[in-house]
Amino acid sequence: MCDSLTPVCDRKYAILGTGALGGFYGAKLQQAGYDVHFLLKSDYEHVSKSGLLIESKDGDFTLPQVKAYNDVEQMPQCDVVIVALKTTQNHLLPKLLPPLVKDGGVVLVLQNGLGVEEDISQIVKNVQVIGGLCFLCSNKVGAGHIRHLDYGKITLGEYTPKYDPAPLTERIQYVANDFETAGITIELATDLLLARWQKLVWNIPYNGLSVILNARTDELMTDAHTRILVEQLMNEVAAGAKTSGRVIPDSFIQTMLNYTVKMKPYRTSMKIDYDEGRPLEVEAIFGNPLRKAQAAGANLPQISCMYHQLKFLTQRNGIA
Ligand SMILES: NC(=O)C1=CN([C@@H]2O[C@H](COP(=O)(O)OP(=O)(O)OC[C@H]3O[C@@H](n4cnc5c(N)ncnc54)[C@H](OP(=O)(O)O)[C@@H]3O)[C@@H](O)[C@H]2O)C=CC1
Ligand SMILES: CC(C)(CO)C(=O)C(=O)O
């Protein structure tokens, strides 16, 4: 394994799910010189032949040749395995992860939602699990064709049993260095659980309301009624975080509101999935936080209402 100070080395990265997020970050790592192995499903043949095309607000680029696979057993063992599937596919992880991650390696979970690191720590032993919260607006618009619309920063935090706060280790530092070498802004967090609840401050109101009300982020922010609803939901997420002893101050909520007002009109990833008839990440983004807060005795009525509405919509549309 390379040390943390080597800018570009032979560290092997695996991308589990080469879509909007995995395709973007994986391509940036390969462009920076890292050895990246991409697992694909429906785009496998196209990407094997033609590589990846990244349209990005930071500059378009193509990777005419990438190491593409449609079978995890054909991939080499990697130092860092990036989980970039939708969480709705996480039932596949017990089959996908063990052959892929090196003993002593890292599994980096870049998915939205809560609790995934805990599940992964039960699947693979003797690896470090790191969570990453991605402030990224990216879509897959065709086979091997990713459109990066905005942002890109990742907040990284180590997973520890029970999500206790963790000091920064050498492993998280070298992952951070690799991404920074690839041009990605990284923030390091010593409290992954707090970082995950903070990300939910955005995902719960906007992902949920965008589907239930058929609205883009700009519409939710300009209408006075939905603007109030968004803020109430954000406050409920903060109440949920408090049940785990994590404090999300009102200033953080105001920052998220301002961030979204400044954002280009955005159809959330959950809305895109809904419109395309794909399963929604309802359990990871709504179900898990609700259950965690409920287990600590807290009632989050508006989030609970939204969860049941989304369950209804996904059942009715056959995408549960
Ligand atoms: N997109 C974004 O800007 C952001 C996304 N996130 C989070 O990142 C995660 C990934 O989201 P996103 O990239 O948008 O989703 P995508 O659907 O674009 O990407 C997931 C990819 O996984 C592939 N896949 C599914 N099953 C398999 C399999 N069995 N083997 C190999 N590949 C498979 C899919 O391939 P196929 O298309 O063939 O099914 C798809 O390309 C989610 O948790 C999301 O919430 C977080 C922040 C921002
Ligand atoms: C907050 C955002 C837009 C990334 O910044 C996101 O996570 C999503 O669309 O799911």
Write down how long the chain is.
320
User: Average pLDDT of the chain?
Assistant: 96
Pocket test for ligand 1, best of 41, 43, 278 (most atoms within 8 A of CB): 41
In whole angstroms, what is the distance from residue 230 CA to residue 160 CA? Answer: 31
Largest CA distance in the chain: 54
Q: What is the CA radius of gyration of the chain?
A: 19
Given pLDDT bands bounded at 50, 70 and 90, which one contains residue 319?
Answer: confident
Is there a contact between 70 and 40 (Cβ–Cβ < 8 Å)? yes
Q: Is 53 in the pocket of ligand 1 (CB under 6 A)?
A: no
Q: What is the mean pLDDT of residues 163-170?
A: 94
The Cα angle at residue 95 between residues 78 and 12, in degrees rounded to 5:
10
Please tell me the predicted confidence (pLDDT) of residue 10: 79
The interface predicted TM-score (ipTM) is 0.98
Active site amino acids: 199
Instruction: Kindly tell me if the per-residue pLDDT of 165 is higher than 50.
Output: yes
Helix (H, G, I), strand (E, B) or coil at 130: strand
Which tens digits make up the pLDDT trace of 40-93?
999 999 999 999 999 999 999 999 999 999 999 999 999 999 999 999 999 999
The Cα angle at residue 313 between residues 306 and 226, in degrees rounded to 5:
40
Which tens digits make up the pLDDT trace of 234-260?
999 999 999 999 999 999 999 999 999
CB atoms within 10 A of CB 251: 7
Nearest atom, ligand 1, residue 140 CA: 18
For residue 215, the number of C-alpha atoms closer than 13 Å in the C-beta half-sphere is 17
Ligand number nearest CA of 267 is: 2
Ligand number nearest CA of 21 is: 1
In whole angstroms, what is the distance from residue 204 CA to residue 136 CA? Answer: 16
Among the listed residues 174, 198, 203, the one whose alpha carbon sits nearest the alpha carbon of residue 9: 174
Instruction: Kindly tell me if the per-residue pLDDT of 305 is higher than 60.
Output: yes
Question: What amino acid occupies position 194?
Answer: L
In whole angstroms, what is the distance from residue 37 CA to residue 27 CA? Answer: 10
